[in-house]
């Protein structure tokens, strides 16, 4: 019995020494350059990137690194990733399952750039969160990550825009990752920033899926965005819908004081390899007003209708297609009840040139002060308006139209015809004098 007790004591001592030695060896390995390189390599594989991290500082099961960087490889959607103040909590029990498991990772600041036109690498997409490299040696060579929380995330998607200062959580899901964000701002070049309510993105097999992004614009406007980047058919395919957006929040400075109303509509933008994206959609403006245009003062003066100076708009709608820098508008309708209705469409070229055909309808009361307009120009009656065709051209900066010239000619012809009728009713001794007067005035009438 005594020998048995001594043997058990020696065995216990050996086991304790072995455990202590193994513990020291594991902790030494965790602080080694080899383990840091292993983390960088596995991070790079998951992100299809060349990754690196600052030295690791361990405190119990918690590890800290001042920064983690990654530069995307050709073929992946990631262009770059920069994380600052990274802290992770390791579940040591997972070592017996053959994995380094991180229960939670916290990042103070994260900056990510995503390509909008990734080209597939010859070897296909990189490993997914569920992929497990073979174990080597006594310690695990596989990593598992349950959750990442970011206090301040900034994600830029090519030239499309970026989300800044949002709180972000990241979790693996199957062979992909789910990103949930809240707060912050969405910035699109040339547009007013949108306040983010919530956003969800899924990264799977090298494709970025924007499941839904709900945002606010101005006091009452709401905007939702969904789509994908890096899909097999197009570099990107995005859908945007907006409701009850104040026109002043989207118009440029030249139009903010002229056009008011609430805007709704949607737009779908699809990228094409090697070509400009195509955007199609529609728009609707309600409860609006148009004022401040010089032509409005002239129309109000000639028609003796002051309502034209601040013209109410019950609705303005249309469909549009933008291909590169060129835009085509179809099914355009604008109406100011009791004053004016416009229907038609136009094409605006990349150089700013305009080519359009419209039908303009006005009320008979509006035309009563324009001699000849109802007899020679506005000839079709429909829906309570008198209609005529109008062609527009020129450029966006200097547009042209053929309506004013036709009205001027109609007025001149009407004056001449009225003069001729007067001649027929004029006593014979005054006929010659009236004819001479009409002949002298005719060249002066456009």
- Residue 435 within any structural domain of the chain: yes
C-alpha closest to that of 150 among 231, 68, 86: 86
Residue 257 lies in a domain: no
Its domain, for residue 430, covers 415-444
Rounded CA separation 421/424 (Å): 5
Helix (H, G, I), strand (E, B) or coil at 345: strand
Residue 258 lies in a domain: no
Tell me if 53 is assigned to some domain. Answer: no
In a domain, 350, yes or no: no
Q: Are 308 and 320 contacting, i.e. CB atoms less than 8 angstroms apart?
A: no
| Residue 421 counted as domain residue | yes
In a domain, 284, yes or no: no
pLDDT tens, per residue, the chain with 446 residues? 444 333 333 334 334 333 334 445 455 666 677 777 877 777 777 777 888 888 888 888 788 889 888 888 877 778 898 999 989 888 877 777 777 777 888 999 999 888 866 554 433 334 444 444 444 455 666 777 788 899 999 988 877 788 899 999 988 888 788 989 999 998 877 778 889 999 998 888 778 888 888 999 988 899 999 988 776 666 778 899 999 999 988 887 777 888 899 999 999 988 777 778 899 999 999 999 988 877 777 777 777 788 888 899 999 999 999 998 899 999 999 999 988 899 999 999 989 899 999 998 988 888 877 777 778 888 899 999 999 998 988 887 788 888 878 877 877 765 555 544 444 544 554 445 444 444 544 444 44
To 5 degrees, how large is the angle CA 171–CA 242–CA 358? 145
Q: Report residue 155: phi and psi, to 5°.
A: -125, 120
Residue 419 lies in a domain: yes
How many domains in the chain?
A: 1
Positive or negative torsion for Cα 170, 174, 175, 176? negative
């Amino acid at each position: 019995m005594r020998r048995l007790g001594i043997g058990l004591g020696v065995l216990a001592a050996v086991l304790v020494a072995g455990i202590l030695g193994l513990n020291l060896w594991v902790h030494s390995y965790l602080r080694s350059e080899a383990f840091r390189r292993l983390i960088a390599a596995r991070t790079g594989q998951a992100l299809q990137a060349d990754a690196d991290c600052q030295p690791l500082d361990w405190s119990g099961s918690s590890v800290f690194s001042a920064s983690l960087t990654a530069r995307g490889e050709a073929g992946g959607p990631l262009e770059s990733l920069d994380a600052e103040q990274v802290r992770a909590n390791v579940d040591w029990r997972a070592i017996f399952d053959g994995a380094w498991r991180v229960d939670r990772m916290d990042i103070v600041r994260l900056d990510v750039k995503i390509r909008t036109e990734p080209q597939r690498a010859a070897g296909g997409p990189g490993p997914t969160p569920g992929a497990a490299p073979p174990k080597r040696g006594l310690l695990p060579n596989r990593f598992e990550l349950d959750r990442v929380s970011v206090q301040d995330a900034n994600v830029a998607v090519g030239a499309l825009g970026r989300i800044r200062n949002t709180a972000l959580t990241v979790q693996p899901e199957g062979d992909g990752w789910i990103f949930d964000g809240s707060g912050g701002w969405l910035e699109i070049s040339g547009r007013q920033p949108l306040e983010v309510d919530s956003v969800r993105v899924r990264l799977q097999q090298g494709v970025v899926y924007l499941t839904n992004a709900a945002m606010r614009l101005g006091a009452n406007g709401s905007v939702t965005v969904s789509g994908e980047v890096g899909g097999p058919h197009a570099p990107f395919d995005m859908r945007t819908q907006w409701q009850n957006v104040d026109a002043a929040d989207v118009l440029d400075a030249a139009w903010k004081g002229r056009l008011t109303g609430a805007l709704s509509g949607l737009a779908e933008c699809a990228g094409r390899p090697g070509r400009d994206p195509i955007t199609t959609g529609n728009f609707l403006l309600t409860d609006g007003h148009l004022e401040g245009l010089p032509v409005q003062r002239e129309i109000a003066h000639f028609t003796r209708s002051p309502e034209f100076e601040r013209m109410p708009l019950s609705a303005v709608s249309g469909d549009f297609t933008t291909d590169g820098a060129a835009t085509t508008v179809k099914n355009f309708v604008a109406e100011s009840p009791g004053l004016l209705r416009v229907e038609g469409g136009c094409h605006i070229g990349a150089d700013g040139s305009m080519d359009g055909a419209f039908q303009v309808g006005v009320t008979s009361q509006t035309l009563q002060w324009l001699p000849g307009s109802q007899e020679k120009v506005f000839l079709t009656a429909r829906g309570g308006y008198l209609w005529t065709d109008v062609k527009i051209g020129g450029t966006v900066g200097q547009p042209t139209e053929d309506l004013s010239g036709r009205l001027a000619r109609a007025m001149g012809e009407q004056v001449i015809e009225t003069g001729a009728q007067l001649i027929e009713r004029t006593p014979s001794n005054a006929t010659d004098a009236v004819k001479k007067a009409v002949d002298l005035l005719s060249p002066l009438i456009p």
